[in-house]
A and B are shown apart, each in its own frame.
Chain A
Amino acid sequence: MRIGVLALQGAFAEHIAILRQLEVEAMPIRLPQELKNLDGLIIPGGESTSIGKLMLDYQFRDEIGTLAQHELPVWGTCAGMILLAGKNQHASPEPLGVMAITVRRNAFGRQRESFVTELAIPVLGEKPFPGVFIRAPLIESANRNVEILARLDNAGVAARQGKLLATAFHPELTNDFRFHQYFIDIIAGRR
């Protein structure tokens, strides 16, 4: 299994390190031609405007949109979730529009309001998941075909639509690999 991690800006090395610990082949993706022959793609946390601009400049947008339509499993964390969304409440960055969710950037405030909390995520089992929220977005609304996997004060913070996955928080900053395993299971067709 080969999983690419978009490496334009942000915390891509953290995702790659966890995937390798889970014994999956993982590689950084800096150019669209490197998207070939992947079984899955992660768009990491970082600054969504920076990643969005570089995606535009290096013709990633259509490529990733097409791959997602052809059922390539894609997971976006934080900035990655903003980029996967159908709409975001800010005009910028223009999202890829592959997931039927509307997100709000910096929904909890600035860095002073960044926080950690325990999340109940039923698909990962009973044990709470460590949620690291850094200038995080949230899901304002979602189509009926989107499954909300976790909530915080009623707002969606993790969602799945077919083989697409989005989290407002950063599993790559924790030692709990269950979300990465869940994504691997989606790719393998086990979930």
Chain B
Amino acid sequence: METGTWKVKTGLAQMLKGGVIMDVVSAEQAKIAEAAGACAVMALERVPADIRAAGGVARMADPTVIEAIMKTVSIPVMAKCRIGHFVEAQALEALGVDYIDESEVLTPADESHHVWKHDFKIPFVCGCRDLGEALRRIGEGAAMIRTKGEAGTGNIVEAVRHMRAVTDGIRQLAETPKDELMTKAKELGAPFELVVEVHNTGKLPVVNFAAGGVATPADAALMMQLGADGVFVGSGIFKSKNPEVMAKAIVKATTHFKDPKIIAEVSKNLGEAMPGLDIKQIPTEELLAPRGW
């Protein structure tokens, strides 16, 4: 009997597909998320919109909050560590969370290196903006990828940009002749073996969710139609006027992403979505997506 294998790490992500992973800051919110049909929750101290507003250094959540959420729900519980902060990751592993998100939403602890994720029994999910970044993270041991988008904005534009960049990168690699793959690996800054794998299979070797800006059922379905395997919703649920209704509607839109009638139906009477931010109005140094490399 072997635990912590690549198969069980990537396998859990496969079980999350077609689902919605919701940010929650308390056991009460986690219950609401579970009741709405979330396939997992992300345990946090603050949702990204509040992290953005608070400023300062954002760190791993208080283990008390994470444990309270783990005790309350039976679905998988994820938690975030800072980029490169392998000790926060060790602490989360000791708590027994089901997935660790090495996240740009928290303030990076290391500006040059990410966590060496192969050393952990708990699987990791990491953000990316394009194929090269996705493959670098997988090379370090990420068993699941999410596009970064721009968290806490309620604006889907960056999530769309990043998902299209990943898809475009895959398409290009699939068409690249074998004798040009090494140069491609150099250009992408990605491990050669993974470049060859994507060339051969025409897809990422792990599950890829969309994140960072999903605020409505239509946003979720848009990301699914663009090729996401599922969606993370951060501030979009508990910063909306009616979290329970919004959560259920986003779950349904994610399942029925190709069914415009259902999307129209679940979009009715949702109340106000979270307030959105224009990306161009955010000072460059306050953008989250460029954190990590």
Contacts and interface: CB of A to CB of B under 8 A. Distances in A.
Interface in B67-104: 70, 74-76, 93, 96-99
A116 interface: yes
A82 B135 CA distance: 35
B230 to A, nearest CB: 8
B127 interface: no
A13 B215 CA distance: 26
Contacts of A106: 74
A39 interface: no
Contacts of B268: none
A116 B5 contact: yes
A132 B8 contact: yes
A173 B12 CA distance: 10
A85 B74 CA distance: 18
Contacts of A111: 8, 12, 76, 97-99, 122-123
Contacts, number: 119
Contact of A49 (B5, B75, B256): B75
B163 to A, nearest CB: 18
Tell me which of A13, A14, A46, A114 has the highest count of chain B C-beta atoms within 10 A of its own C-beta.
Answer: A114
Interface residues on B, range: 35 or more
A114 B3 contact: yes
B12 A135 contact: yes
A87 interface: no
Contacts of B16: 10, 46-47
Contacts of B38: 50
Interface of A: 7-14, 30, 45-47, 49-50, 53-54, 57, 78-79, 90, 92, 105-106, 110-117, 132-135, 170, 173
24 contacts: A7-B18, A7-B255, A8-B255, A9-B19, A9-B37, A9-B255, A10-B15, A10-B18, A10-B39, A30-B259, A47-B15, A53-B36, A54-B37, A78-B15, A106-B74, A110-B70, A110-B96, A111-B12, A112-B3, A112-B4, A112-B93, A135-B76, A135-B98, A173-B14
Nearest 8 CB-CB pairings of A with B = A111-B98, A114-B8, A53-B37, A47-B39, A9-B18, A117-B1, A9-B19, A11-B14
